[in-house]
Every structure is written in structure tokens, then in C-alpha cells.
Amino acid sequence: MLAPLVDGGYTRLLRPVLFRAYAGDPERVHHTTLATLEALERRPAALAALRLLTRAPRRPVEAFGLTFPGVVGLAAGMDKDGVAPRAWAALGLGHVELGTVTATAQPGNARPRLFRLPASGGLVNRMGFNNAGAAALAARLEAANIRRGSSVPGIPVGVSLGKTKTTPLAEAAQDYLTSFAAVAPHADYVAVNVSSPNTPGLRTLQEAGVLRDLVAALVAAAREQDPARPVPVLVKVAPDLSFDALEDVLGVCTDAGAAGLVATNTTLGRDGLADADRWRASEAGGLSGAPLAARAREVVAFLAARTELPVVGVGGILTADDGQALLDAGARLLQVYTGFVYRGPALVREIDARVARGPLTTTTTPGSTTERTHA
């Protein structure tokens, strides 16, 4: 099998070259990678070859009324404007969450705004929802013939929705609804991002009363758009919420008709950092990667033990053991971002191989386990 060559080619050849070439500007590495994948997007033969090279055993997962060919997907933030959905599928990911997009285009925060913490296996970012806008994403997906429920690109396509920075908090619901109306025909699900630390005031939208109105409005819009099969609406939560606040969020999501939760976003905390990374971590922004692993597991376990809603586990997945730990905590699906930056397709293959070897044993409450199969 040639997949290990692809995996090793990333970690031993491509990543070191990119990291050295743009040592002072990780965002350029990001854009270079996206440009490469966008070029592949227009070459079906290249995508077919890549799919063959990265093929691996995996087990389907059912969640939100959708079938995911594998447990590992790509988290929001990597492909904000939807330039490479077919390429992500060819790399072996089981779904992709595009965005975060906003109702109007915006440049995001001033650069530099992305910082690698290699000794800690982490990243700090303060991107600020830089994107071309929801309408532009919808137009790109339409041109690529990617519509909700279609067989293109062969994996579910989610879209993360955020608030435009200049929109007052009092008008946030309409901002999200504008984005939803644009992308709903192309999204297999949407995720409501109210937990990024990089848009001023955004996390106040996680307060119970405000969140209830927002989620209810989006769920109502989904039902109006397709009464027979509404687009599933997920809510992405911050790892920095207290357990009491998480309980409130969970109650709101259940009452308002959300289809699931994404846990978690980046953290404002700086625990678990190696000394070599502390100066970079002093930069403002959200921390992701290995330092977030323990808290992500705590949040996933807390939510999964208290709801039947599917939980997508995100945060600190750099090894197959990390992915299994989130599944054991109760996650139905996984998403990777920082781990994919450091490990590439190998990480996806390792987790899928672990899951494919047998049924998952999921600990939902202390002292009790339930066997969950994904067939």
C-alpha cells in the first residue's frame, strides 16, 4: 500500500520545507497549501490518484440524519471559502466543515495573526473570521455543483456560520440568518459559531436567553427552507465555559431544536505549554492543539453524559490515542485542525484504522460503558 509513502512524504519532506520557507509567517504556509489543493480540485485525475494513495479502512458513522464515510472530519477554519472540498475528501477525511463565513466579506484581524507552538503541538490564532462572505461561498459551491445531499464531493459538507464583526450584537440573529439563507442549499449541516474568542463580544451569544433566540431562529429557517428535511443546525461551544454554563447551553440547544453540538472551539487559557512556546503564547488569540486535549475531553464527556444529541469532538487530537480518548468520552464524530497541520493525512488514517478494527467502547458516566457501533 502506498499510503504510508504519502503520510511520510508530508511529515518528513513537505512540512519541514514549508515550515522552514515561511518560518516567520505560518499563514503563508496555510495559503500555499490551500492554493495547491485548489489546483488539485480542478484536476479529477489527480484527485483520483490522491484518493487511491490515501485509501484506508474506515467505518461509517450516522449522525444528524447523515452518513459520514469515516469518523474524522476537517474542522472549520482550514478552508474558510470552500476552495477544496473534493481535495479534502481525496485526502481521506470523512467530512469537511467550511468557513467560518459571515454575512458580508471581511478581512479579519491585522497580521500576524497565526503562531505555531511546535514544542507544545499547538497553535495560537486571532484570525477574526477573515472570509469572502457567505454569498461568495455559496456561489463557489454552486459553480462546483456541490449541493446539499449530492454525491459531490462524496463526503458531507458542513458550513460554520459566524457574526460579521461590524454587526451589533443586537442584530446578530439576522446576520446569521442572512448567511444561512445563502449557504443552506449547499450545506449538509450548519454549525453556529458563537464561541470564537477573536470577534469582540461574540461569546456573549452563548448566554442562554440570547442563544435560545438565535438557535430557534435558525432552526425555524431550516424548517421553512425544507420542511420535510431541514438542514441540521449544530452549536459550537467554547472550552472556557463553566460546567453550569455548559448545562445552560445544552438545555437551550435541546429546547430550541439543535441537532447536535461541536465541542470545542479554541481556548483563551494557556495551560500545558512547553517553556519554549511561552513567548509565542503571549500573543492574543485562541489556543488549539495538544494543550487543549484534556479540557476538550472534559467538555465532551460532560455534554455526552447529559444528552442524546450527537457531539462532535474537537481539540487536541494529534494522535490516534487522542482521537480514541474523545470517542471514549462520548464523541460521535471527530474534527481535526492543528493535528492535521502537524501530522497531515497520516493522522486521519491512524484514527480511522483504530476505529475500523472494532466497535467503540464509549464511557458515558463514571463506572458504566456502552458499546457503540458505527455500521
- Binding site residue list for substrate: 80, 125-129, 193, 198, 265-266
Confidence at residue 18, expressed as pLDDT on a 0 to 100 scale = 65
Q: pLDDT at residue 2 above 60?
A: no
Q: Which of 195, 196, 242, 282 is catalytic?
A: 196
| Within-domain flag for 375 | no
Q: How far apart are CA 307 and CA 328, in angstroms?
A: 15
| Within-domain flag for 87 | yes
Return the residue matching grid coordinates 480540485: 41
Q: How far apart are CA 345 and CA 150, in angstroms?
A: 25
The total of structural domains in the chain comes to 1
| Within-domain flag for 371 | no
Which CATH number is 236's domain given?
3.20.20.70
- Binding site residue list for FMN: 76-80, 100, 160, 193, 236, 264, 289, 316, 337-338
Q: pLDDT at residue 220 above 90?
A: yes
| Within-domain flag for 369 | no
| Within-domain flag for 368 | no
Residue 135 burial (C-beta neighbours within 10 Å; 0-12, 13-18, 19+): middle
Q: pLDDT at residue 365 above 60?
A: no
Lowest mean pLDDT among 42-56, 219-233, 294-308: 42-56
Residue 318 burial (C-beta neighbours within 10 Å; 0-12, 13-18, 19+): buried
Q: pLDDT at residue 132 above 50?
A: yes
Q: pLDDT at residue 239 above 90?
A: yes
Indicate the Cα dihedral angle 230, 221, 64, 214, nearest 10°: -170
Q: Which of 132, 289, 159, 175 is nearest to 236 (CA)?
A: 159
Q: How far apart are CA 219 and CA 315, in angstroms?
A: 26
Confidence at residue 54, expressed as pLDDT on a 0 to 100 scale = 86
Measured CA distances, 29 to 10, 117, 266, 315 (Å): 13, 15, 20, 21
151 is catalytic: no
| Within-domain flag for 207 | yes
Lowest mean pLDDT among 49-63, 76-90, 115-129: 49-63
Q: How far apart are CA 69 and CA 121, in angstroms?
A: 28
| Within-domain flag for 242 | yes
pLDDT tens-digit profile of 280-319? 889 999 999 999 999 999 999 999 999 999 999 999 999 9
Confidence at residue 150, expressed as pLDDT on a 0 to 100 scale = 87
Listed as own residue / partner, the contacts of 33-37 with beta carbons closer than 8 Å and 24 or more positions apart are 34/79, 34/83, 34/84, 37/83, 37/84, 37/87, 37/88
Domain that holds residue 355: 3-363
Q: pLDDT at residue 94 above 70?
A: yes
| Within-domain flag for 234 | yes
Average the pLDDT over 192-204 and give the result: 96
